[in-house]
Structure 1
Amino acid sequence: MKRSTLGRALVLPTTAALAFGIAACGAANEEGGGGGTTINGAGASAQEAAQTAWRTGFLENNEGSINYDPVGSGGGREQFISGGTDFAGSDSYLDDEEVQAAQERCGEGGFVEIPAYISPIAVVFNVEGVNELNLKPATIAKIFNQEITNWNDPEIQADNPNANLPDTAISPVNRSDASGTTENFVEYLEAAAPEDWPHEVSDEWPVQGGEAAQGTAGVVQAVQNGNGSIGYADASQAGDLNSVNVGVGEEFVEYSPEAAASVVDVSERAEGDRGEHSFAFDLARDTTEAGTYPIVLVSYVIACAQYDDEGKANMVKDYLNYTISEEGQQAAQETAGSAPISDELRQQVQPAVDAIAPAGGGN
């Protein structure tokens, strides 16, 4: 199993006001412990819509303001580690070097690292006359590696005996830009079909000769416009396109919020001396567990367990409590199309959020 990673371009912290700030209106009550405190965050653009939903929902019942700059995962981690922000969003967990730096920044209490945003990646297709398609990991790998080139190939027919598969060329569509979606998809192919996917994990597509499109919207449009096309895209943006049922063990699993969240539940926590409040997972991309959907992007929220400022400590704690709550996860699903974390995962990470406190103890 491998960690879920994204490109790690570093962005230096700035003292300018962070983008996308949301402040509570005057009617906000005083239920939150943060009072009129402002906290700043930065990081993954994949979390942008979810962060907006979380902040809006949280500030309906809490005073203060929260800023989040979707500068990217690498920039978010760098700004947090350097002390430029109070929390970070990241589409990969901290590596060993960053763990040490985060522990130094956060002090004796260490850091908190929790998976708060799960986004399924759909394998979308457009084949005239075919509305449902089962594909094993090896078959998916061979299609995107351009080794299976026709829709009536015997390997596809074997798992779709009732489908009217046409004698039509397969047109695989990939991202033309560096992409976390690409990296997570390629990581799945490497883990689930290692014999049929000889390429290293990267955020840039490794196979030449297919159709390339800019961004998720570009991939979706290219698949929509081309009979015989297949591509990969954030499930929330797949629109009316049909999506592949992915082979997992002895069954084929359609993506759903529950199936996407389940892959985290069957994954193991990352090894190493990360501290008790780090819930970083090496995703079980090659799982055979029934009912799991293994092609997902998992994004983390990273914070300190202790803050010198009592208001910030309470505000961060309350905000993360809302983020992982059923209400917060539902808000993210409705706004960003993410998969809510499971009750099991919520119970696992709750003690880490509960540990956030002012330095020296007390709330």
Structure 2
Amino acid sequence: MIIFLKNYWHKILAATITTTAITLVSPAAFAQLIRGAGASFPEILYERYRREYKQETGTNFKYLPMGSGGGIRRFMDQSVDVGSSTLIPTPIERNQMEDGLLMIPTAGGAVAIVYNLQNVTTDVKISRKKLAKIFTGKIGNWKQVHPRLPNRKIQVVVRSDSSGTTFLLTKYLQKISRVKILASRLPNWGFEVFASRPQDSGVAAEVRRIDGAIGYVQASFAIKNNLPMARLQNQAGRYVSPTVEETKKALVGVEFNEDLTIDNIEDPEDGYPLVGLNWLLIYKKYPSQDMLQKTQDFVTWILTEGQEFNEGLEYTRIPEDVTQKAIKIMNSELKVRPY
């Protein structure tokens, strides 16, 4: 009798464990997940999208910030449902995207030049020429930036990953400087930088740690880390802070191509001069109607209700005529992959 009861409870325990395991990996739970990876530029905004959309629909957006280059790679190898990038994939990369590509703009933003100068309370203004010289190693002391700044070594902190934010910065430096610099996701800076860190959050943390440091992050990371942001000289000669209003001025004249990409915003005439856009990368073909509909519903929400959260987090909204065009493109071009 004792043996019988012992075997009985063993079977009950095994059944319970099996049922629990099945529940943990149930298709229904998996179906409530959208996997994304890519640029850290929109990370703070995408986290807000995730919270709001999950609360509203029950579907969770699991986003891994890893740099635009990493997001493009993940999209190419189809290990995510959507990618994210602040740069446009190259023709070679596009050719390797077997299920096609739609680029959906979600937000604009400023690349803030952040710094750490202890005991300095005045605003730091950086001219176009001196910004280029700092990030090419031509000047290395804060007193060379402005005579009133301290005699302190400039410690340059850059991204260590394949970064769209880095591409925006180097493209801008290439435009404004006579110094030869290659616009790149992961450049050879041509001098010994103080540190390289992954993602905007890594750069912000390192700048915050080191007196004399300077780096570059999306403006929301500067605010989150309580880092001062330099006022940059724009094309008109004004020294401008990376506020939402100044970013909007810089982006107001941007023209979107038919595929919702853009050609040139690396030196706007007005507003904050160092700005960019972020895109979601979505496939033209998905493996099932359920996955297609889930992705389309989420992206449509971002382009409508989600835009309400952008400006409060230091990002600009995408113009409504562009968001409506993006929705129409999705409606006409998204398909289920044939088997």
The TM-score normalised by the length of structure 2 is 0.72
Query: How far did residue 53 of structure 1 move?
Result: 2.5
Pair 1:249–1:311, CA change in 2 (3 A): same
- Aligned-partner residue type, residue 307 of structure 2: Q
Aligned in 2, Cα 1:171/1:222: closer, same or farther, shift over 3 Å? Answer: farther
Residue 151 of structure 1: CA displacement?
4.0
Is 1:328 equivalent to 2:322 in the alignment?
no
**After superposition, where does 1:92-241 map in structure 2 within 5 Å?**
92-102=87-97, 105-106=99-100, 111-127=101-117, 128-153=119-144, 156=145, 165-166=148-149, 168-175=151-158, 177-178=160-161, 180=163, 181-193=165-177, 195=178, 197-202=179-184, 203-204=186-187, 206-215=189-198, 216=200, 219-220=203-204, 223-224=207-208, 228-238=212-222, 239-241=225-227
d(CA) in 2 for partners of 1:150 and 1:79?
A: 40
* Secondary structure of 1:282's aligned partner: coil
SS at match of 2:56: coil
Distance in 1 (CA, whole Å) between partners of 2:127 and 2:300 is 38
Once the 2 structures are TM-superposed, how far is the Cα of residue 281 of structure 1 from its aligned partner? Answer: 2.0
Structure 1 281/41 Cα, relative in aligned 2: closer, same or farther at 3 Å? farther
Deviations 1:235-288 (A, max 9, x none): 223233322111112212110123334444434546xxxxx4x21223421222
Q: Does residue 1:257 correspond to 2:239, yes or no?
A: no
Does the 8 Å contact 2:74/2:80 carry over to 1? yes
Distance 1:72 1:139, change over 3 A: closer
1:130 CA drift (Å): 4.8
Partner of 2:294: 315
Residue type of the partner of 1:231?
G
Alignment partner of 2:148: what SS? coil
Identify the match of residue 86 of structure 2 among 81, 91, 106.
91
Counterpart pick for 1:353 among 317, 327, 334: 327
Distance 2:229 2:253 in 1: 23
| Contact kept in structure 2, 1:121 and 1:185, CA below 8 Å | yes
Unaligned runs of 5+ in 2: 1-24
- Code of the residue aligned with 2:148 in structure 1: it is L
Aligned to 2:231: 245
Secondary structure of the structure 2 residue equivalent to 1:60:
helix
The one-letter amino acid paired with 1:241 is L
Residue 5 of structure 2 aligns with which residue? none
Residue 43 (structure 1) aligned with residue 37 (structure 2): yes
* Cα distance change on mapping 1:248 and 1:141 into 2, 3 Å: same
User: For residues 331 and 212 of structure 1, do their structure 2 counterparts lie closer, same or farther at Cα, with a shift above 3 Å needed?
Assistant: same
TM superposition shift of 1:198: 1.7
**Does the 8 Å contact 2:99/2:286 carry over to 1?**
no
CA offset digits 1:315-335 (Å, max 9, x no partner): 22221121123x41344666x
Kept in 2, the 8 Å contact 1:258–1:339? The answer is no
Correspondences of 1:226-305 after superposition (within 5 Å): 228-238=212-222, 239-250=225-236, 251-269=238-256, 276=258, 278-288=259-269, 290-291=270-271, 293-305=272-284
Quick check: which has more Rg, 1 or 2?
2
Deviation of 1:212 after TM superposition, in Å, equals 2.0
1:26-41, aligned counterparts within 5 Å? 38=32, 40-41=34-35
Q: May I ask how many residue pairs the two structures share in their alignment? A: 301
Sort the Cα spacing of 1:230 and 1:51 in 2 relative to 1 into closer, same or farther, 3 A: closer
Deviation digits for residues 142-184 of structure 1 (CA, Å, limit 9, x no counterpart): 233333344444xx55xxxxxx714614413222723524333
Structure 1 vs Structure 2 CA RMSD? 3.7
Residues 227 and 286 (structure 1), Cα distance of their counterparts in 2 relative to 1, 3 Å cut: same
Per-residue CA shift, 1:301-345, capped at 9, x if unaligned?
1224565744333322221121123x41344666xx451324x2x
| Identical positions, percent | 21
